[in-house]
Amino acid sequence: MDRFVYEQMLQNVMLPVARASTRLRYPFHQDNDPKQTSNHIKTAWAQVPLYVLTYLIQSMPRRCQAVIDSRGFGTEY
């Protein structure tokens, strides 16, 4: 996978899911692989609407609480 395939995956899979759902149903991981940190990808991330990022950030307290409540087992997130 190169940066262009990665960008297409973000645009065609991750962003539509984030827009269509009030909750992401699976984790999104980034491990600083070069294709994830390229200027091309940084530009693509800059185009994600602020409301999507804001929602994800604001959802963290309840996501963390769900993990605490489940004692580390699976949650609805």
> SS3 of 29, please?
coil
Query: How many angstroms separate the CA atoms of 49 and 51, rounded?
Result: 5
CB 44 within 8 A of CB 7: yes
pTM over 0.75: no
Torsion region of 71: left, alpha or beta (phi above 0 gives left; psi -120 to 50 gives alpha): left
pLDDT in tens, 16-72: 777 776 665 555 566 667 666 678 778 888 888 999 889 888 999 998 999 999 988
What are the boundaries of each domain within the chain? 3-69
63: closest CA among 31, 32, 22? Answer: 22
